[in-house]
Amino acid sequence: MNSANKTTLRELDDEEEYLVSKGFEKVDLASCIKYLRMIDEHKLRRPDPVYRAASLVVNNQKRAKVQKQDLYAFMEQLAVAALDVNDVDTCDRTIDILRETFPSSSRVKRLEGMSLEAKGRVDDAVAVYDEVLEEFPSDQRAMKRRVAAFASAGRDKEAIDALAEYLDTFMADARAWERLAGMYQERGAYRQAVFCWEEVVAAEPSVHYHHRRLAECLYTLGTEEDLRAARKYYAAAVDMSNAGDVRALYGLALTDNRLRRKGKVKGNPEIAADGDGQVPVTELGQHAAGLLRKMYAAGEKIGASKPGLCEIVEGQLKTLLDA
C-alpha cells in the first residue's frame, strides 16, 4: 500500500462489508461517501458496491450535502461502475450531465469512448481517444483505452501497435511491457516477447516470476545461446523464490536435458559445459531435481499432496535427466 494512503485496505473491506450487509438498505450516505473516497484513494475497481454507493449519493445529492467537485468525482465513478455492471443507460445519462458542465474535458471524452466500446462501436471509440490525444498527446489513460479497445475487439495487431506506441512515451510502465510480452507470445513472436520481458526484469529485478517467464520464452526459442540464457534466468527464479517456484525448477531440469542433448550431437556425450566455462550443465538440473523430490516428499508426508504423486514425479525426472 502507498505510504501516502490515509486508510488501509482492511478498513475499506470493513466499510464495504457494512454497506453490503445493511448500509445500502439504510441509505447511509455518509458511509457511501466514505467508501467511494477510499476506493479512489486506493485506485481500486469494485463495480457492484461502487455502483450502488455512487447511485445513492448522486440520486440523493441534497441529503448527501457534498461539494460540487466531490459530486462530479462520484459521478465519474458511477459512470465507470455502470459500464462494469452493464448499465449503459445510467452511464450515458451521467456522461450527459458531466458534458454539460465540462464540455471540453478530456476525462468526459474518455468516458464517452468507454461507453462506445461497451456498445461495440470500437472505431468510434478510438476516434474519440484520437481526438483527446490530438489535444493532449501524452494523455496516458486515453492511450491505454485505445489499446483496450483494439484488444477487446480481437484486433491484436492494432492493439500491439497501440501499446508499442504507448511505451514509446511511458517506457517505465512495467505492467505495459508485461502485457505486450503476453500479446507477442500469443502470436508466437517469442523473440519480441523476450525483449519485452527483459524490460520487465530491468524494471523489477527482484520479482522471481519475471525471470522465469523470460526463461520460458528463451527455452521456447531453443537455440543453444537461448538455452544457456534460459538456464541462468531459471536459476535466478529458483534462487529468488527460495526454491519455491516449481515451474522454474522443472525449467532447469528441462533446459539441462536439452543442453545435454545438444552436447551429445556435438560428439561430447559425457560433459556439456555452459557458455561461461567448464561447469557441467547437469549440475543445476540435478540440483533442481533434488529440490523437487524433497518438495513433493514433504507435501506427501503432511498430506498436502496425493499419495503416489512422488512416484509420478520421480518418473518424470528420470525421463528428463536420464534421456
Domains of the chain by start residue, with CATH: 1-103 (no CATH), 105-169 (1.25.40.10)
In DSSP terms, 273 is beta-bridged to: 280
The more confidently predicted of residues 259 and 236 is: 236
CA–CA dist 18, 58 (Å, integer):
20
User: Using one digit for the tens of pLDDT, what is the confidence trace for 246-280?
Assistant: 999 999 988 988 888 776 545 555 554 554 444 44
The more confidently predicted of residues 305 and 177 is: 177
Query: Region 296-305: what's the mean pLDDT?
Result: 71
Check residue 43 and give left, alpha or beta (phi > 0: left; psi -120 to 50: alpha).
left
Query: Region 166-177: what's the mean pLDDT?
Result: 96
Q: In the chain, how long is the greatest CA-to-CA distance? A: 84
Query: Region 130-146: what's the mean pLDDT?
Result: 95
CB-based contacts of 27, cutoff 8 Å, min separation 6: 56, 60
CA–CA dist 248, 232 (Å, integer):
11
Is residue 156 within 8 A of residue 183, CB to CB? The reply is yes
Residue 304's alpha-carbon distances to 168, 219, 249, 288, in angstroms, are 47, 30, 19, 20
Question: Mean pLDDT score of the chain, rounded to an integer?
Answer: 89
CA–CA dist 59, 129 (Å, integer):
29
User: Using one digit for the tens of pLDDT, what is the confidence trace for 179-201?
Assistant: 999 999 999 999 999 999 999 99
pLDDT value at residue 4: 55
pLDDT exceeds 90 at position 309: no
Helix (H) or strand (E) holding 302: none
Query: Region 128-146: what's the mean pLDDT?
Result: 96
Is residue 200 within 8 A of residue 181, CB to CB? The reply is yes
The more confidently predicted of residues 231 and 5 is: 231
pLDDT exceeds 90 at position 132: yes
The more confidently predicted of residues 297 and 102 is: 102
Q: What's the sign of the alpha-carbon dihedral 176, 182, 185, 187?
A: negative
User: Using one digit for the tens of pLDDT, what is the confidence trace for 70-83?
Assistant: 999 999 999 999 99
Helix (H) or strand (E) holding 269: none
